[in-house]
Amino acid sequence: GENVEQHPSTLSVQEGDSAVIKCTYSDSASNYFPWYKQELGKRPQLIIDIRSNVGEKKDQRIAVTLNKTAKHFSLHITETQPEDSAVYFCAANYGQNFVFGPGTRLSVLP
Amino acid sequence: GAVVSQHPSWVICKSGTSVKIECRSLDFQATTMFWYRQFPKQSLMLMATSNEGSKATYEQGVEKDKFLINHASLTLSTLTVTSAHPEDSSFYICSASRETGNGYTFGSGTRLTVV
């Protein structure tokens, strides 16, 4: 089955700096990779996603890159703000299901 | 966008009782819904896939007789935790998608505490 790894598990950055979270997956058949942001006690919210037919996607301060050959994808957040502090989960589709990474707790320090 | 409603948002129950959690797709029909469990500071773990009009598909290690799933309509799936025990205390969350293969929308989650 699919296995998704995610690093780092925790990340602290100064406000205004960039943050990068990396994920790897094992199933070469996976072709859809969403990223979710989960604030404490709340539901995960989809923030960006990428399909296997593109290598990069950007939405304002958030971007995602995908390397299908190496089976890894990354989330990039630029000009971080305190409200970016949350747990971020990457995921890869596996059939009609999704397998989630273990999460990265991002802390943006003012 | 797709909206998924989940109720209740939190529930406290006594050991041995059963709790029902509802997941509704408000503005779309969902042939398939997913149920996850999330323990504190951990990732989302898929429990089962709920298919409208047929039996749910459970992940390995999830007891189907303990976690009853019913998907009687295209907009409603229910998860019933039967004979709940303290170790069942967790955050249960459902998800659904307007289109298969796209980013799924999560319900607001249900925090279950069994005392």
- DSSP letter string, B38-90: E-TTS--EEEEEEETTS--EEPTT--TTTEEEEEEETTEEEEEE-S--GGG-E
- What are the structure tokens assigned to B50, written together? 């709920």
- Most confident range (mean pLDDT) of A20-24, A100-104, B60-64, B69-73 is A20-24
- Are B46 and A98 in contact (CB < 8 Å)? yes
- Are A43 and B32 in contact (CB < 8 Å)? no
Å from B37 to nearest chain A CA? 12
pLDDT at B103 over 70: no
Is the CB of residue A27 less than 8 Å from the CB of residue A1?
Answer: yes
* B107 interaction partners in chain A (CB closer than 8 Å): 43
- What are the structure tokens assigned to A34, written together? 């969403």
Q: Model confidence over B70-84: pLDDT tens digits?
A: 988 889 999 999 999
* B108 interaction partners in chain A (CB closer than 8 Å): 42-43
The three-class DSSP label of residue B102 is coil
Of A89, A93, A97, the CB nearest to B49: A97
Between CA B21 and CA B33 the distance in angstroms is: 13
User: Phi and psi dihedrals of B70, rounded to 5?
Assistant: -130, 130
* A34 interaction partners in chain B (CB closer than 8 Å): 103-104
Would you state the pLDDT for residue A4?
94
Would you state the pLDDT for residue B100?
60
Of B43, B101, B109, the CB nearest to A102: B43
Q: Model confidence over A48-69: pLDDT tens digits?
A: 999 988 899 999 999 999 999 9
| Beta-bridge mates of residue A98 | A93
pLDDT at A72 over 80: yes
Q: Which of B85, B84, B100 is nearest to B49 (CA)?
A: B100
Q: Summarize the confidence of residues B42-66 as an average pLDDT.
A: 90
Q: Which of B57, B104, B108 is the best substitution to test chain A (most A C-beta atoms within 10 A)?
A: B104
Angle (CA) B98-B49-A96 rounded to 5° is 55
Q: Give residues with Cβ within 8 angstroms of B41, minimum separation 6.
A: none
Q: Summarize the confidence of residues B102-109 as an average pLDDT.
A: 81
- Most confident range (mean pLDDT) of A36-45, A69-78, B22-31 is A69-78
- Are A49 and B93 in contact (CB < 8 Å)? no
User: Phi and psi dihedrals of A103, rounded to 5?
Assistant: 100, 155
pLDDT at B99 over 70: no
